[in-house]
Structure 1
Amino acid sequence: MTAATPAMAQDANGDGAEAPRIIVTGTRQADRSAADTVAPVDIVSGAELSNQADNDIGNALRISVPSFNVSTQPISDAATLVRPANLRGLSPDNTLVLVNGKRMHRASVIAFLGGGISDGSQGPDISVIPSIAIKQLEVLRDGASSQYGSDAIAGVLNFILKDSAEGGEISGKWGSTYEGDGDNYQIAANIGLPITDAGFLNLSMEYGESDATVRSVQRDDAAALIAAGNTAVADPAQIWGQPNVNDDFKFFANFGLDVTEDISIYAFGNYAERNVDGGFFFRNPTNRGGVYAGPLVDPVTGAASTAANAVPSILVGDMSNTTAGDCPAGIPLTAGGGLLPDPTVLAAVQASANCFSFVEMFPGGFTPRFGGDIEDYSIATGVKGQLLGGLDFDLSYRNGRNKSTFAIRNTVNASLGPNTPTEFNPGGYAQHEQVFNLNLGYELPVGSGSVYIAAGAEHRNEKFTITAGDPESFELGPLAQPTAAYPFGQGFSTSSNGFPGFADNSAGSWKEDNTAVYLDVEADLIDALTLQGAVRYEDTKSFGNTTTWKAGALYRVSDGFRLRGTYSTGFHVPTAGQANVINVTTQFSNGTLQDEGTFPLNSPAGLIASDYIADSVANGGLGLARPTLGPEKADSFTLGIAGDVGAVSFTIDYFNIKLKDRISRSSTIDFPAALCYLADREGVTTSCAPGNTPPPAELLTQLDAAGVIDRADFTGFEDLVAFAFFNNDFDTRTQGIDFVANTRFNVTESGVTKATLAVNYTKTDVTNLGATISSTRARQLEEGLPRWKGFLNITHEEGRVRGLLRANYFGKYFEAHLEDDTLPINAKAKLTVDAELGYEVIDGLEIAAGAQNLFDTYPTLNPWAGIVGAKYGERSPFGFSGGSYYVRARFQF
């Protein structure tokens, strides 16, 4: 029941000597130890991941693997449901995730809001893996595309499942934060069952829930509304904190059976589901565009006015929609110092069955709640063994699917007026992948050594699906429909506010496939030298073919000192989702909320965007390079030493990763300006002029009437202020050093103490910045994660008592609050401490209590907290909920 240490930690033999830890990641040989690999491989035990306060495995990894980072993502659209994680400072989809050595399928969620570093990424959802199912995690800190295929640029995470045929454990845990919120519990069980005398079935289950936390201050604008007398405004108006996670169920099964002495069959799979519910930005009842914000009006009558005494107003809708002037254009904001509606005009609107304003429904504004259901399942099966007296083989098939079904409530489709629902199903995403894999290997004796030759083939196909939402979630209601009285609608926004539903034109399925062959050679020609070389050819359906390779060597200077190094090339191709997704997000910009769309480059909207970007300034365009989407390619090398000094084992490795043509979501570009460009190019008369771009709804209506576009292709885009797309438009160089040291010593005669010190330094430089990537984004890439990160982990066992103490260091970093570098948060370095104490009450039953962030450390205060109420920056590498405590009971049998 010890909390094992990661990264080259070793188990003791029965005589107390250290036994080498055998690994299967980064090598094709079955008996290679972590100490004898040409590239660094860290080992994190299942106990290390279980003996923590966090229920989420991503949070557990960020304090077990120094180069691994994941943040809370409090208001990040779908990224709140599946949080993007980074290894070595690179995008989440630059890390390959394996389960039992087989490629894990991606999550269905694309992280449109990823803090600059993860923008547009689509990686696997590792949170569906229950920690109780993990035997050990192997982290290959090296480029491995030539060994495993696309994505393995930053490294590889290989989750090895428990495979015991007997015994098991049952555990229950409850915890909370020091603030008294964020209550959470988890129950888990694992059991190993024999399948005859030659096989096993190992089952693991986890179920838990986590309540939300609140680390907000009242927004300045909400406080002003309350001071003016608006008693309907909530306090706080906007929630910043971790979301609610409900019904978080995870199941894994692992099976193996020896059919003959040389051949075995295996299978493993999972099912997981959870519900996530979080918050969005506050909709101010005086100025939220498309819902509340009206024109300048006469302060007495509410009629539209351009006079000097005109005042801002709250928008009023004419439900008859047939004759203009039936209702005032707006309710004048004249009461409460201009923050409350004029009571006389408000009363007249309320009394009229034909006139409507959203202050009647939500007088204090509203804050949408967004979340959804995640469902994930997979099955892998195969046969492996030896044929023909020594030919190793492994033939396998894996099928995995991840589905996200979104939900939004406490919001409106403003164009429907009083008939709007306040809860919507906006639709969802699904990612389905199949992988067929054949690996062959044969060891040839050469002199006093040997050469192991491995070869194989893989075929992978994926399908990304967008499911349309409820019609009301994208409907163009009567208050936005063009009529004779209101040719461009009445200024009310369409779709579910905050997360518009996927319209029928956005729904569909898109496929991508990949076929590969590889050759991998490891040679131990002499005792002192291990050589490795690999080459892989891959051909993709949409993005051509590529060949990657890798060369590495390990030289044993002495029994206690080794030199190692590798050089490799790598690649990552766009996913079917990145190439085809259509999405609208709401962002805070220049003091207001605005809708931003993401289009495929080959869509009708994407083609307009491409032409606008590429055309000359003289012709109304931006005069920039036409955006393209294709593979990103990498060159990387590592150089390190590993050794033993007395009782201390250590490794130190330098890495350098150059990435060219990185795949990412672009920075945003003015959408109305692009439509004005199209109208001018096609000779359509509009009110477009320098300094004046009409609303998109007006321009789309005019372009449709002229036959230039099909209005149906742009459903849900009527309120867009900006657009973005996936392309390849910048290069980076990421380099750093990983240091790991382990030791084992006796503090007392009967006790055993283990200590691990792990330190990571990672620095990213943007070496080539394209025109569609902003300087803010470049700074986020370079400074958005701590360059220094590390931990000191100490465990002690004595009789029935077990203790753990861990200090975690997170260096300084930069955050662009609200994605705006004029609102910088220059976060300071912080040190957190975790502790746990366990006592074995009776044989097999342990009671433990612990604390994460024992001394209640918080990240640097947000100097711009009043803007949207965020007390701390949302990108903190250790969260911003402060300290938490937990108790756990665990019975092993």
Structure 2
Amino acid sequence: MTQLSRKGGLSFAASTLILSGLIHATPAYSQSAEDRGVSDDEIVTIGTRRIARSASNTPAPIDVITGAEFDRNGFDDVQDLLRTAVPSFNVSSQPISDDATIVRPANLRGLSPDQTLVLINGKRRHRGSIITFFGGGVSDGAQGVDISAIPSIALKQVEVLRDGASSQYGSDAIAGVINFVLKDAPHGGLIEAKYGSTYAGDGDEYRLSGNLGLPLGNQGFVNISAEYGEVDPTSRSIPHFDTGQLSAAGYAPATDFTTITGGFSDDVAQYWGRSQIDDDFKLFVNSGLDLSDLTRVYLFGNYAERTVSNGFFYRGPTGFNASGIYEGPSVDPTTGQASSAADAVGSVLVGDLDGLGVGGACPSGIPLTAAGGTLPDPTILAAVRSDANCFSVIETRPGGFTPRFGGTNEDLSITAGIEGLWMFGGGLAYDFSITHGSNQTAFFINNTLNPSLGPDSPRRFRPGTQKQTETILNADFAYLIPSGLASDISLAFGAEYREETFDQFEGDRASYAAGPLAGQGFGVGANGFLGFDRSISASQSASAAYVELETDITEALTLQGALRYEDYSAFGDTLDYKIAGLYRFSDHMTLRATHTTGFHAPTAGQANARRVTTEIENAALLDRARLPFASPAAMLASDFIEARDGQRPQLTTEDANTFTLGAAFRVGPTEWTVDAYQIDVDDRIAQSAGIDFGDVLTFAAGRANVTLTPGATTGQTLDQLAAAGVLNRADFNGFDNVAEIRFFTNSFDTRTRGIDVVGNYAFGFLNGSSALTLAANYNETDVTNVGAVNPIDAGRVSAVEDLLPNWKGFASWTHAQGRWRTLLRANYFGQWDNTVWGVPDQSDELLIDAEIGYRLSDAITLIVGANNLLDNYPDESQGFATDFFGQQYPDFSPSGFDGGQYYTKLRVRF
């Protein structure tokens, strides 16, 4: 709930503080943020609606990360900051991951990004516009919140509830809840400038940020935070097996690296590195005003914008070929006749510009390479150019090309509310609010082509835009009921209405158009990312009501219960509950346990988005279509699955059961928490297993008694089925080169088990103050059921179970003495693997971060530091990842693969 400062004249009557605290609580600090050590006494505002609950006194485990802890860090992105502060939080670099490059998916407790609920000042945050169709298995298909839009300088603290909380907060809160609490000081400010780079000399980072607190009369405040920065890309690529030979022979790859600084050459034609981020601007405003002793209003919101770009896979004319671009049918290397023999080679894909059967015939059966060679046959260009009506991509891109993909992301939100106390019946606290937010991404893809347009294809495309819009109304109430127990009964209840809309706006026509060569085997649309050929808008709404009770039965025993009913316009209703308890054996030992049920509903985007992208399968590029569940193509695929598996796919909510058991205790001067958990998720919402499009079309033809033409291309088969009335050709625009289709469905079941251990020790050292923190997480996810309908394959199971390390943790030492302060942190990442990418059994990694700060004056501090001080890298990739893609290190490495990074910061307080 809302976090309003009690400073600068903001004061309520004592009864107001007590009752409004049932809805929300204001964090309090015993030391200054600059010098504060680690403590478990932070007041939290999630997991309980009872006043003044500390993190160590709640029935569910909660991590509290203060703004001071974020200050002592070399990372800029809030997700990277959380990765070093919350052991079970993971996020990776995500190069060549389509939309996931723009908004990186993050995982809490090994679950999907949209299974974690995100709040700002206790209010639900809107989702991002990005659906991570390619998210490395664990995050595939997730539509989570764009946490990167939040500037770290705006944060007073971050609270991480490590427990299921759907009964308290609604959909998505299966893995837990992250609440970002904004600064609320009515005075003072901070300006910080930062520069950093990698040891390798690339990836320069620049950031300027500031925070300013202003009084709003005598009874309010306005707190403003802003940040602007840019990040240059990094390159950790190695040459492809064929690009060196291509360059030496005069076939230089078209890489479009004009905006990339260093690390690339004709031999290195693949983007493997951190994304380029331009014009990264973030603004947050938080404000509150007392209208009377019993009433106050609040307003907070943000605006953010950034442009993110990275690369796609290199499309080479030989060796690693992309169908629909260079390569035609397989032929005998000597005769040029069609052949399926082991020694057959790909032929040059040649198109007839004036149409098949019109004028002279174009050459066919020309081997793409000389027999046994890896370079284009020198006679190819002459043979194709001999007729102006004949075209091959090898004429315009003889050395291959590497598309560059990205998007401009824009984020906007505003929350307004009024809260206070109605003085009747002992006093009823209330909080009424409205939140409106949107996130929009305008995509671009450059240095590619629409093969079906032939020589007229542009090289730059705007494939379209996606937008997520949400409006949320909340009414929250709290009341204290005298009980005769050790405390009054805290009763909280309320209602919520949410409406979300997902829009997908049409791209430029060239990005999706079927050109004159579409029926001749050439791919349709911008290669790598097919443009949206139509605009769609899909909405859904949800209404909810909840009640929550909490009381101290005795001085030792606290019990909590919650019940929430939620009804979705598209997916029906659900009733979820929570039962929790805390028992105090002594001042030094408590035991806590919870049992919760939870749910996660499909988003409007997951149910309605349409996408065709180029991806890798068995060391080859292929086009995959992701379709709305109710689209004609998905319905046709569902018919096929029903005929094959005996059941039809469905799309509805996923359900979860969570159990936690934990203890908080002191051993001498140290403080510890240990929490074990089990999360069972049934019918997980995910992309379906791939469905061979050729099999679907063959099924459709057989059902309609249509005999397909042998050897026909996919586009020709679609034309034939459309002519026979089996399907509407317009529903399959851009499917001419599609090999596989997928859609969102309730797919598989998982069980996640783990344990969190956190220890703190504060002590005096060398006439200064020191603090040690040890935090570790063990997390293991097992796929307990692959699904009876279109089950997921072994590769997806491996990604869900093994892509994230089972062990992760950190140990940090902070010290403050006079004008000096230091940080030393060891980050541990356990073993992991991804056999699909040929990187099995990756070793564990230990990365060391260090930072030293010196106060030049009371206002000015100079800071220098390094992330990954010892310049460690993950194990190198193996197999086709290196041979075909020039990948030196695995891109999903949880520890990153940029090596060491240094930085310096200048901080001015006023």
Q: TM-score, normalised by structure 2?
A: 0.92
CA contact (8 A) 1:9 1:43 kept: no
Q: What amino acid is aligned across from residue 561 of structure 2 in structure 1? A: G
Q: Is 1:58 aligned to 2:79, yes or no?
A: yes
Which residue in the other structure is 2:599 paired with?
571
8 A contact 1:297–1:329 mirrored in 2: no
Tell me if the contact between 1:385 and 1:393 (Cα under 8 Å) persists in the aligned partners: yes
Q: Retained in 2: the 8 A contact 1:601–1:607?
A: yes
* Map of 1:486 onto structure 2: none
Match of 1:746 in 2: 764
Pair 1:626–1:18, CA change in 2 (3 A):
closer
Kept in 1: contact 2:33–2:67 (CA 8 A): no
C-alpha distance in 1, partners of 2:40/2:31? 6
> Is the aligned partner of 1:451 residue 2:489?
yes
Instruction: Determine which of 73, 82, 88 is the counterpart of 2:103.
Output: 82
- Check if 1:842 corresponds to 2:857: yes
Contact 1:817 1:873 (8 Å CA) reproduced: no
Structure-1 residue corresponding to 2:295: 263
Partner Cα separation in structure 2 for residue 183 and residue 644 of structure 1: 44
Superposed displacement of residue 321, structure 1? 1.3
Equivalence for 1:242: 274
Q: Which of these residues, 836, 852, 856, is aligned with residue 871 of structure 2?
A: 856
Which shifted more, 439-448 or 91-100?
Answer: 439-448
2:28–2:42: 8 Å Cα contact kept in structure 1? no
1:429/1:467 contact within 8 Å kept: yes
- 248-257 or 333-342: bigger deviation: 333-342
Which of 677, 690, 694 is the matching residue for 1:668?
Answer: 690
Q: Aligned partners of 2:142 and 2:35: how far apart in 1? A: 47
Q: Distance in 2 between matches of 1:737 and 1:848?
A: 35
| Aligned partner letter, 1:699 | T
Whole-angstrom CA distance in 2 between matches of 1:570 and 1:366: 47
Q: CA shift at 1:687, angstroms?
A: 3.0
How many Å apart are 1:302 and its aligned residue?
Answer: 6.8
Match of residue 310 from structure 2: 278
- Counterpart selection for 1:535 from 560, 563, 570: 563
Quote the Cα distance in structure 2 between the aligned partners of 1:271 and 1:635: 36
Deviation at 1:297, TM superposition (A): 5.6
Residue aligning to 1:465: 503
Query: Which residue identity does 2:329 align to in structure 1?
Result: P
Runs of 4+ residues deviating >4 angstroms? 6-19, 226-229, 296-311, 334-337
Contact kept? 1:153, 1:570, Cα under 8 Å? yes
Query: Which sits farther off after the overlay, 339-348 or 721-730?
Result: 339-348
- Structure 1 contact 666–727 (Cα < 8 Å) conserved: yes
Task: Tell me the alpha carbon deviations over residues 492-537 of structure 1, each in whole angstroms, 9 at most, x when there is no partner.
Answer: 1110000000112xx2110111000000011023221211100000
1:373 maps to what in 2?
A: 408
How far apart, CA to CA, are the structure 1 residues paired with 2:325 and 2:488?
73
CA displacement, residues 862-882 of structure 1 (integer Å, 9 cap, x when unaligned):
122222111111111121101
Number of the residue aligned with 1:618: none
Are 2:420 and 2:431, in contact at CA under 8 Å, matched by a contact in 1?
A: yes
Q: CA 1:680 to 1:130, structure 2 compared with 1: closer, same or farther past 3 Å?
A: same
What stretches of structure 1 of length at least 5 have no aligned partner? 1-5, 481-488, 616-621
Cα gap change, 1:298 to 1:891, in 2 (>3 Å):
same
Alignment of 1:128-167 (within 5 A): 128-167=149-188
Partner of 2:324: 290
- 1:701-712 to 2 correspondence within 5 Å? 701-712=719-730
Counterpart contact for 1:386–1:392, Cα < 8 Å? yes
Matched, 1:412 2:449: yes
* 1:718–1:788 Cα change, 3 Å: same
Q: How many residues align?
A: 863
2:629, 2:743 within 8 Å by CA — same for their partners in 1?
yes
Q: Which residue is equivalent to 1:475?
A: 513
Q: Partners in 1 of 2:102 and 2:441 — Cα distance? A: 8
Q: Alpha-carbon deviations, 1:523-568, whole Å to 9, x = none?
A: 0232212111000000000111010000111111111111111111
Q: Is the 8 A contact 1:350 1:356 kept in 2?
A: yes
| Distance of 2:620 and 2:806 partners within structure 1 | 33
- C-alpha contact 1:220 1:867 (8 A) present in aligned 2: yes
- Give the equivalent residue in structure 1 for 2:823: 804
| Contact 1:270 1:378 (8 Å CA) reproduced | yes
Mapped to 2, the partners of 1:8 and 1:605 lie a distance apart of 58
CA drift of 1:743 comes to 1.3
In structure 1, the residue matched to 2:840 is 825
Are residues 1:759 and 2:779 paired?
A: no
Letter in 2 for 1:772: P
Q: Cα distance 1:257–1:797, how it changes in 2: closer, same or farther (>3 A)?
A: same
1:397 is matched with: 434
- Asked whether the equivalents of residues 453 and 521 of structure 1 are also in contact (C-alpha less than 8 Å), the reply is yes
Question: What's the CA shift for 1:697?
Answer: 0.7
* Greater mean deviation of Cα atoms: 880-889 or 19-28: 19-28
Q: 1:223 Cα shift?
A: 4.1
User: Residues 15 and 723 (structure 1 numbering): CA distance in 2 closer, same or farther, change over 3 Å?
Assistant: closer
CA distance in 2, matches of 1:334, 1:551: 68
Amino acid at match of 1:411: T
| Structure 2 Cα separation of the partners of residues 779 and 347 of structure 1 | 48
2:524 aligned to which of 469, 494, 513: 494
Change (3 A) 1:308 1:160: closer
- Corresponding residue for residue 5 of structure 2: none
Residues 192 and 432 of structure 1: CA distance in aligned 2, closer, same or farther (over 3 Å): same
Q: How far is 1:586 from its partner?
A: 1.2
In the TM superposition, what is the alpha-carbon distance from 1:763 to its structure 2 partner?
Answer: 0.8
CA contact (8 A) 1:446 1:525 kept: no
Task: Give the corresponding residue for 2:124.
Answer: 103
Instruction: Work out the CA distance in 1 between the residues paired with 2:40 and 2:356.
Output: 84
How far, CA to CA, are the matches of 2:647 and 2:36 in structure 1? 67
Find out whether 1:655 has 2:677 as its counterpart.
yes
TM-score (norm 1): 0.93
Contact 1:250 1:272 in 2 (8 A): yes
Contact 1:266 1:381 in 2 (8 A): yes
Q: CA deviation at 1:589?
A: 1.3
CA distance in structure 1 between the partners assigned to 2:624 and 2:402 by the alignment: 18
Query: 8 Å contact 2:121–2:180 — kept in the other structure?
Result: yes
SS for the counterpart of 1:426 is strand
Tell me if 1:317 matches 2:351.
yes
In 2, Cα distance between equivalents of 1:218 and 1:103: 46
CA separation of 1:599/1:658 partners in 2, compared to 1, >3 Å: closer, same or farther? Answer: same
Shift of 1:222: 2.9
State how far apart, in whole Å, the 1-side matches of 2:696 and 2:245 are. Answer: 37
* Greater CA drift, 208-217 or 303-312: 303-312
SS at match of 2:520: coil
Q: Distance between the aligned counterparts of 2:419 and 2:824, measured in 1? A: 42
Q: Secondary structure at the match of 1:209?
A: strand
* RMSD over aligned Cα atoms: 2.3
Alpha-carbon distance, 1:350 to partner: 2.8
SS in 1 for 2:222: strand
The structure-2 alpha-carbon separation of the partners of 1:655 and 1:16, relative to structure 1 and needing over 3 Å to count, comes to closer
Aligned partner of 2:278: which letter?
Answer: N
User: Is the 1:463–1:511 Cα contact (8 Å) retained in structure 2?
Assistant: yes
* Counterpart for residue 20 of structure 1: 41
Conserved? CA contact 2:245–2:375, under 8 Å:
no
Structure 1 residue 33: deviation in Å?
Answer: 1.2
Deviating more after overlay: 27-36 vs 648-657 = 27-36
Deviation at 1:336, TM superposition (A): 8.4
Indicate how the Cα distance of structure 1 residues 309 and 110 shifts in structure 2: closer, same or farther if over 3 A, else same: closer
The residue that corresponds to 2:7 in the other structure is none
CA contact (8 A) 1:8 1:43 kept: no
Rounded Cα–Cα distance in structure 2 between residues aligned with 1:472 and 1:376 = 28
Q: Aligned equivalents of 1:464 and 1:217: distance in 2?
A: 40
Match of 2:368, SS? strand
Aligned counterparts of 2:371 and 2:520: Cα–Cα separation in 1:
27
Indicate the SS of the match to 1:49: helix
Cα distance, 1:345–1:737 mapped onto 2, change above 3 Å:
closer
